[in-house]
Amino acid sequence: MTATDTSPDQDTFTSVDPATGEVIATHPRADEAAVRAAVARARTAAAYWGALDFDARRAHLLRWKSRVVADSAEFSALIHRENGKPLDDAYLELLLVVEHIDWAAKHAKKVLGPQRIAPGLLMSNFAARLEHRPLGVVGVIGPWNYPVYTPNGSIAYALAAGNTVVFKPSEYSTSVGNYFAESFVRANPELPQGIFATVNGSGATGAALVAAGVDKIAFTGSTATGKRIMAAAAETLTPVLLECGGKDAVIVAADADLKAAADAVAWGATANSGQTCAGVERVYVDRSVRDEFVAEVTRILSEVKPGSGAGAHYGPMTMPSQIDIVKRHIEAALRSGGTAALGGPESIKGPYIDPVVLVDVDEDSEAVREETFGPTVTIRTVEGVDEAVALANANKYGLGSAVYSRRRGLEIARRLRAGATSVNSVLSFAAIPGLPFGGVGDSGIGRIHGAAGLREFARPHSIAVQRFAIPGMALLSYTRTPSTVALLRRLIPILHGRNK
């Protein structure tokens, strides 16, 4: 397979079809000067875009949304080609994207519009207002696994909040990233340039964006890169939103609907070749239902096949170097006493990896501790919910999670250390635009999606307007008299002295 050429000293780089290695495009690489120029254009555009009211921005964003829908066949084909995922999965990704653009466009005014705040008794002569201002220019750095959906969780929300965006797509999904930005321009040709633009390249271009004076960096990718970005951003106190890796656990309780749980685990572990940040990587199943559950997951996955044609369930591994990590984890799992209920190292066939089910792997194995990002799953037998919760929580990551239980789903969900939990489904939280998405621990900092996702890209601006002066109550002045404080000494015990 020909890898995407990412050597940083070349002026151009290529993106390739991961199934065939065929070069599909050559892109100019943005150096530091080009990144700074893009940020300068975005800064100029921010003066225009940030001054529009919420209704005007909403109209532009909804036009963009319908442009994405109109172009979805062509866009899906490009995602299929550059990322490798099946056409229908590419279409489903776009469907989620338009749902999120729609939500951000329609909720920005309610979440970020001016609000009156009660001033409190002592300040009752004031009108208090909370308003939100855009940050300015947001730098978005994205991964390749969901090359539109994932960065859009920052892009659509940053735009709806009144910011302009400079987006550095992954070097493995550059054509897709550019198509997305161009669709905004195609939908809104009368707008000034630079409201949503891309800079192309690999890590060095991303690093240049972090150092280019943007007002926030919204990063999605691996935890290792997230840490490097946070350290670099500290130099200029540039705030960061970090959406990083995961090692999501599913708990299958004794009272679970086993058929439904097995179906969801099989799909959640292998869809998109397992290259899903909140995909299923670990399962903790109650001993009483373990054999039946493992047999059902194995039965389903023995019918699931990767490929590039119309009937394939999932595609090739997008990034060649990930194949080595998957292989290492399978071998580590088997070395540490685990058994393969389905597949093994021989499941790796070039860019394609058949599903692999690993049972009762040691919890200290890197196959359980580290993100695998491939179509594999570990299933461990536990002696009940308490052990399942303890093991699920004993991981440095805390992104998504899921619980299968007929009666105790919500109760178990509340005990999980994760940014999100699905009960009796997997990954559903990521498809509900109003629900914030993000993790704890090594999974990152901050939230995309929902009201919290809009607030990430706005600066609260508190305004206190004195409507009239209260004689003798000039608290914030040297004209304050002893009788003012005497009055307060009588008032405060009445207001706050009782424990009610």
Which residues are catalytic, by number?
Answer: 243, 277
Looking at this protein, which amino acid is placed at residue 197? A
- Give the ranges where 211-257 is alpha helix by DSSP (H): 223-234
- x/- map, 308-337, ligand NAD, by CB under 6 A: -----------x------------------
Q: Of 192, 203, 239, 307, which lies in the binding site for ligand NAD, with binding defined by CB under 6 A?
A: 203
Q: Is residue 220 close enough to count as binding ligand NAD by CB under 6 A? A: yes
Using CB under 6 A, which of 162, 245, 274, 409 touches ligand NAD? 245
Residue 168 binding ligand NAD, by CB under 6 A: yes
Residue selected from 84, 194, 221, 374 as contacting ligand NAD according to rule CB under 6 A: 221
Residues 427, 274 contacting (CB under 8 angstroms): no
Q: Which is nearer to ligand NAD, 17 or 248 (CB)?
A: 248
Applying CB under 6 A, does 174 fall inside the site for ligand NAD?
A: no
Residues of this chain, 281-310, that bind ligand NAD according to CB under 6 A? none
Nearer Cβ to ligand NAD (77/231): 231
Handedness of CA 381, 384, 390, 396 (dihedral sign): positive
Q: Choose among 22, 6, 24, 7: nearest CA to 351.
A: 22
Q: Which string of DSSP letters, residue by residue, matches 30-51?
A: P-HHHHHHHHHHHHHHHHHHTT
Q: Which helix (H) or strand (E) holds 88?
A: helix 87-112
Q: Nearest Cα to 290, choosing from 429, 387, 398?
A: 387
Q: Give whichever of 141 and 249 is closer to ligand NAD, judged by the CB atom.
A: 141
Least distance from ligand NAD to the Cβ atom of residue 101, Å = 17
262 touching ligand NAD, by CB under 6 A: no
265 neighbors 377 (Cβ within 8 angstroms): yes
Nearest residue to the partner ligand NAD, using Cβ: 206
Stretch that binds ligand NAD, among 67-75, 206-214, 265-273, 487-495 (CB under 6 A): 206-214
Residue 170 found at the interface with ligand NAD (CB under 6 A): yes
Residue 27 burial (CB count, 10 A): 18
If binding is defined by CB under 6 A, does position 421 make contact with ligand NAD? Answer: no
Distance of CA 301 to the CA centre of its chain: 27
Is residue 393 within 8 A of residue 416, CB to CB? The reply is yes
Q: Applying CB under 6 A, does 354 fall inside the site for ligand NAD? A: no
Q: Which is nearer to ligand NAD, 27 or 290 (CB)?
A: 27
Measured torsion, CA atoms of residues 72, 76, 77, 80, in degrees rounded to the nearest 10 = 180
| Min CB(230)–ligand NAD separation in Å | 10
Query: At closest approach, how far in Å is the CB of 429 from ligand NAD?
Result: 12
**Site string (127-146) toward ligand NAD, x via CB under 6 A:** --------------xxxxxx
DSSP structural state of residue 429: G
To the nearest whole angstrom, how small is the minimum distance from the Cβ of residue 89 to ligand NAD?
15
Sole window of 110-118, 178-186, 242-250, 343-351 interacting with ligand NAD (rule: CB under 6 A): 242-250
Decide if 21 contacts 1 (C-beta within 8 A).
yes
Under rule CB under 6 A, residue 154 binds ligand NAD = no
Among 137, 211, 218, 229, binds ligand NAD (CB under 6 A): 229
Q: How far is the CB of 375 from ligand NAD (least distance, A)?
A: 15
Does 398 bind ligand NAD (CB under 6 A)? Our answer is no
d(CA 329, CA 367): 5
Residue 243 as a binder of ligand NAD (CB under 6 A): the answer is yes
| 220 or 298: CB nearest ligand NAD | 220
Our finding on whether 228 is near ligand NAD (CB under 6 A) is yes
Give me the least distance between CB of 199 and ligand NAD, in Å please: 10
Query: Per CB under 6 A, does 366 bind ligand NAD?
Result: no
Contact 392, 410 (CB under 8 A): no
246 binds ligand NAD (CB under 6 A): yes
Q: Which of 276, 334, 263 is nearest to 303 (CA)?
A: 263
Whole-angstrom distance, CA of residue 219 vs CA of residue 177: 14
Decide whether 86 or 453 has the Cβ nearer to ligand NAD.
453
Which residue spans within 360-435 are E strands per DSSP? Answer: 376-382, 397-398, 401-404, 422-423
Q: What DSSP string runs through 131-194?
A: EEEE-SEEEEE--SSSTTHHHHHHHHHHHHTT-EEEEE--TTSHHHHHHHHHHHHHH-TTSPTT
CB of 18 to ligand NAD, least distance (A): 13
Closest distance to ligand NAD from the beta carbon of 256 (Å): 26
What does the alpha-carbon distance between residue 471 and residue 193 come to, in Å, rounded to a whole number?
54
The answer to whether 333 and 365 have CB atoms below 8 angstroms apart is yes
Q: How far apart are CA 49 and CA 187, in angstroms?
A: 15
Q: Give which of 67, 292, 93, 264 is closest to 185, Cα–Cα.
A: 67
Interface contacts to ligand NAD, rule CB under 6 A: 141-146, 150, 168, 170-171, 202-203, 206-207, 210, 220-222, 225, 228-229, 243-246, 277, 319, 371, 373, 399, 444
